[in-house]
Structure 1
Amino acid sequence: MKAIVLALTCLAGGAILAGCSHMPANPKDDSTFQYLLDRKSEWAENKVETLPPLPREQDLIAFDVSQNTPLHFAIDANSLTVQSDGVVRYTVVITSPSGARNINYEGIRCETYEWRLYAGLNAEHNGWDRTVANDWSRIENGELNAYHAALYQDYFCANKMPTGKAKMIVDNMRHHRTAASLIH
């Protein structure tokens, strides 16, 4: 009886809600049943073979991180991409009060709340340095300069997915439309 009810639930369009992914061969043995959300992801990251040009001042979009930080944060609008692997890639420019700049090409994976550094500005300030690249790391919320969390929560991601195509994210950033401001 349990297998019949489970089968009817799956067939009645409840597959998404019930998470049906496998019907047991033996109706009395449901030990092989597996929820879709419990499955291991078969995610593969797209290769990042080419890097965007270094940012130009007129293409930078400032965004807020914290009232407690003296640093200024901006994204290069021309570098922002949303790709088929669910990663939002972008160039970030971090400027200190003295004018010193840190420029990185990074990615945020919405599904797992992680970020990754692909390259940073080289010592000559005329190109990218890939030797600084790192692997995926969990985004930290509590840091004073937690700009990854601000980007993830305010502009890039919702429900573990990118909030839209690159153009939409850039438009939202230009008009300071954060996720919280879009809730009516």
Structure 2
Amino acid sequence: MRLAWKRWIFSLLAACTILSLHAEDEADLEQPDDVPWEEVKSTLPAYPEAGEWLPFFVTSATTNTFYIDAKSLEGTKDGVMHYTLKVVSENGAVNVTREGMRCSTREQKLYAIGDDRSKTWREPRNNQWVFFKKWAINRQLNVLYDDFFCPGRIIVYNVNDAIRALRSGVPVSGKSSRD
């Protein structure tokens, strides 16, 4: 009971802190030039049965663990980093998703949801680009964006740089968004 109470207090304090922070100005994250953006079509990779899963730290406020499949990383010329994300709950539930992150606009897109039993992908209900705020509930997106895929709003085209950073736990820029 005492642990549940501490978690509740911590969650309340975290929520108050998040609400007190200023949201990033969405206008700063619009397309940088007048050329209309066109998404590069990407095909789904095979389901990662034996992926090279690289763990990354999100926050001590969650008991989930987060992983990126190193084999799945792909930076495309449209400024999108494609990746496969695995989230494992403290109870062992596994969620695998194929996603993309658009660096110039701080948007994320869900391409597919993994079915771990049949080792197949299924299409999500919503596969539109969605802006995610700096202090969103899905903090893993912010960590991936700031530290590994889009430091300074610029895509890390050399995926080996992102892989090295994920392996070492040291952000591509050398400075963590959590500092």
Match of 1:152 among 136, 145, 149: 145
8 Å Cα contact 1:107-1:118 kept in structure 2? yes
Q: 1:145 & 1:106 partners in 2: Cα distance?
A: 13
8 Å Cα contact 2:67-2:85 kept in structure 1? yes
1:134 matched residue in structure 2 = 127
SS at match of 1:181: coil
1:73 matched residue in structure 2 = 66
Q: 1:59 & 1:38 partners in 2: Cα distance?
A: 34
Q: Structure 1 residue 182: deviation in Å?
A: 5.0
Q: 1:123 & 1:57 partners in 2: Cα distance?
A: 12
Q: 1:46 & 1:63 partners in 2: Cα distance?
A: 27
- If the length of structure 2 is used for normalisation, what is the TM-score? 0.73
1:27 matched residue in structure 2 = none
Q: Which amino acid aligns with 1:151?
A: L
Per-residue CA distance 1:142-161 (angstroms, 9 max, x = gap) = 24441111100011112321
Q: Between 39-48 and 75-84, report the one with greater CA deviation.
A: 39-48
> Which of structures 1 and 2 has the bigger CA Rg?
1
Q: 1:172 & 1:164 partners in 2: Cα distance?
A: 13
Match of 2:81 among 80, 85, 88: 88
Residue 102 of structure 2 is aligned to residue 112 of structure 1 = no
1:46 matched residue in structure 2 = 40
Q: Structure 1 residue 39: deviation in Å?
A: 4.3
Q: Between 149-158 and 171-180, report the one with greater CA deviation.
A: 171-180
Aligned residue pairs: how many? 146
8 Å Cα contact 2:75-2:156 kept in structure 1? no
2:10 matched residue in structure 1 = none
Q: 2:67 & 2:165 partners in 1: Cα distance?
A: 14
Residue 135 of structure 2 is aligned to residue 166 of structure 1 = no
Matches of residues 48-63 of structure 1 in structure 2 within 5 Å?
48=42, 50-57=43-50, 59-63=52-56
Greater relative contact order, per chain length (Cα 8 Å cut-off, separation 6+): 2
Q: Structure 1 residue 135: deviation in Å?
A: 0.5
- If the length of structure 1 is used for normalisation, what is the TM-score? 0.71
Q: 2:81 & 2:160 partners in 1: Cα distance?
A: 12
